[in-house]
């Protein structure tokens, strides 16, 4: 007699249906959080750059990326260009593309965690990403980081499935996804490196088709080399920005690793670009990092080795490598070589981290304790999200330039401090308006340009910009006096009138 217990098909169908509904609800929550206040703030410089480049013709787009945005591969700009053709361009439309990728990433992290562990770990990981401060922040920006996260998860997911099924079609999908991932951001090469290291570590456990991987690596080189040959490498070296030192806001501090983890823990409660209060490191450490470390206990605590435990350990090693190795590599290299660093470059490391957090909470012996942890995490995350929605962090050129466009009289002079060039936001928001009479402080004070009224638009986000702006305005006051000032976030609009006009009066 066969003693195998047959699963009730109806019960199984109900389980899958409930699971699907839970995931749909979480994805819907994530979508709502990413759509809320989507165009509340205007485009900051990097976003304006994305919008501007993606409006160009294909040949102009490539030239602009090579000359100015050489540190970014072109796939995101191509995608945004296609998106514009379908839905039009604007703040909302540009950011909506990132919303779509950010929401789909919630579904993908569920699939990845479900592949590696169980349904409740997967549901927990999806929920963590849905309410993530950084996940929401970069899903509301017209930049490539939400798209990158999507393809990083897809690449890891296909890699995990390929290791288990060893089907050539899945391996092919993995290679194709990895190539797209690298064409979005060069830092994603670290993901590919981690997966390669993982294959070496577990080469005896998994039957990896070496020919397919070598062919995929060759294909990747064949596709990326033509892009690099367009002058990207030469432009990077010509710019002198790689190894010449970076401003303080792009430098790696001594506690950078802990700052990264605290940001992953939704610790930016004082503002998305502000320093985190000290207490957030403790709270986030208990709610997020402690469960993530607890999830790794099978790697260090003695347990009986069987096939199931060995597979679990392999999955944990994969996530640990994907979480720690890219962060450590970027921080160490950036600090040693003075290369520009920003948290968004390693944002994709949030994926393995959240899966480990969910796994650690899921592994708690008490279901009540597990529920309590998730309730506290959600409560803390809800409190942190006020920074996303109600604490502006993008320079407000949109309103500042709208005021200028309204008050400007043709023939008046305009200076943009400290860069002496028209910001891209002017062309995006006011491209059809009359051209501004743009000049600089030196031309006005020397008498080369005669202006009775001068508008000064000053960028004041960073210390160096404020310092140079102050110097420029002080020089302008030799010949002109300030008659009006309008303040917007990180952007001030000044109106000056000639002192000679007073003498004539």
pLDDT score of 5: 44
* Rounded (to 5) percent helix, strand, coil in the chain: 65, 5, 25
The pLDDT score that the predictor gives to residue 3 is: 43
pTM exceeds 0.95: no
At 485, which helix (H) or strand (E)? strand 480-488
Start-to-end Cα distance in the chain:
112
User: Domains of the chain: which residue ranges?
Assistant: 9-390, 397-504
Q: Six-digit token pair at 55? A: 């409006």
CA distances from 332 to 17, 322, 397 (A): 46, 16, 35
Report the SS3 class of residue 455.
strand
Structure tokens at 48: 């304006």
- Residues 422-452: b if buried by 16+ CB within 10 A, e if exposed: bbbbbebbbeeeeebbebbbeebbeeeeebe
Strands of the sheet containing 491-498, edge to edge, are 437-438, 413-417, 453-459, 491-498, 480-488
Nearest in space to 34 (alpha carbons), one of 123, 149, 146: 146
How high is the pLDDT of residue 273?
87
Report DSSP state, residue 249.
G
The dihedral over CA atoms of 102, 103, 109, 114, expressed in degrees to the nearest 10, equals -170
Cis peptide before 418 (omega within 30 of 0): yes
Tokens of 69: 């945005």
Residue ranges of the chain with per-residue pLDDT less than 50:
1-5, 505
Compute the distance between CA of residue 381 and CA of residue 239 in angstroms, rounded to an integer. Answer: 40
Q: Are 455 and 406 in contact (CB under 8 A)?
A: no
DSSP per-residue letters across 65-124: HHHT-TTS-SHHHHHHHHHHHHH--SHHHHHHHHHHHHHHHHHHHHHHHHHHS-HHHHHH
Q: What is the structure's pLDDT at 50?
A: 94
CA distance 153 to 172: 16
Q: What angle do the packed helices 350-362 and 91-116 form, to 10 degrees? A: 50
């Amino acid at each position: 007699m066969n003693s195998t217990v047959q699963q009730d098909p109806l019960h199984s169908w109900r389980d899958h249906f409930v699971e699907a509904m839970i995931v749909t609800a979480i994805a819907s929550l994530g979508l709502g959080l990413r759509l809320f206040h989507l165009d509340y703030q205007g485009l900051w410089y990097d976003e304006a750059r994305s919008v501007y480049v993606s409006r160009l013709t294909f040949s102009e787009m490539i030239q602009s990326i090579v000359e100015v945005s050489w540190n970014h591969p072109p796939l995101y700009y191509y995608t945004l260009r296609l998106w514009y053709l379908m839905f039009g361009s604007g703040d909302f439309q540009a950011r909506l593309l990132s919303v779509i990728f950010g929401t789909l990433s919630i579904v993908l992290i569920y699939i990845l965690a479900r592949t590696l562990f169980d349904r409740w770990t997967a549901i927990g990981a999806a929920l963590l990403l849905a309410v993530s401060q950084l996940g929401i922040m970069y899903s509301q920006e017209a930049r490539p980081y939400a798209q990158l996260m999507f393809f990083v998860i897809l690449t890891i997911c296909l890699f995990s499935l390929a290791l288990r099924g060893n089907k050539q079609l899945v391996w092919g999908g993995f290679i194709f996804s990895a190539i797209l991932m690298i064409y979005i951001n060069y830092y994603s090469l670290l993901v590919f490196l981690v997966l390669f290291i993982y294959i070496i570590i577990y080469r005896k456990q998994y039957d990896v088709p070496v020919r397919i991987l070598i062919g995929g690596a060759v294909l990747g080189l064949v596709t990326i080399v033509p892009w690099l040959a367009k002058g990207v490498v030469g432009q990077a070296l010509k710019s002198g920005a790689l190894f010449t030192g970076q401003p303080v806001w792009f430098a790696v501090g001594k506690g950078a690793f802990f700052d990264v983890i605290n940001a992953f823990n939704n610790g930016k409660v004082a503002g998305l670009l502000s320093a985190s209060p000290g207490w957030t490191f403790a709270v986030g450490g208990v709610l997020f990092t402690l469960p993530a470390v607890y999830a790794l206990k099978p790697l260090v605590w003695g347990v009986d080795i069987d096939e199931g435990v060995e597979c679990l350990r392999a999955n944990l090693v994969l996530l640990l490598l994907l979480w720690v190795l890219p962060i450590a590599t970027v921080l160490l290299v950036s600090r040693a070589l003075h290369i520009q660093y920003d948290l968004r470059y390693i944002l994709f490391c949030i994926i393995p981290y959240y899966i480990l957090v969910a796994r650690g909470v899921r592994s708690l012996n008490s279901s009540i304790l597990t529920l309590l942890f998730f309730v506290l995490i959600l409560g803390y995350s809800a409190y942190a999200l006020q920074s996303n929605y109600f604490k502006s962090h993008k320079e407000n050129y949109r309103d500042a330039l709208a005021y200028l466009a309204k008050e400007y009289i043709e023939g008046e002079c305009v200076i943009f401090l400290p860069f002496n060039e028209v910001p891209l936001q002017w062309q995006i928001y006011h491209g059809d308006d009359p051209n501004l009479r743009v000049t600089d402080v030196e031309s006005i004070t020397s008498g080369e340009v005669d202006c009775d009224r001068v508008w000064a638009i000053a960028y004041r986000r960073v210390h160096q910009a404020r310092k140079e702006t102050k110097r420029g305005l002080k020089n302008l006051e030799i010949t002109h006096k300030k008659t009006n000032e309008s303040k917007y976030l990180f952007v001030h609009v000044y109106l000056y009138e000639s002192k000679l006009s007073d003498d004539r009066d």
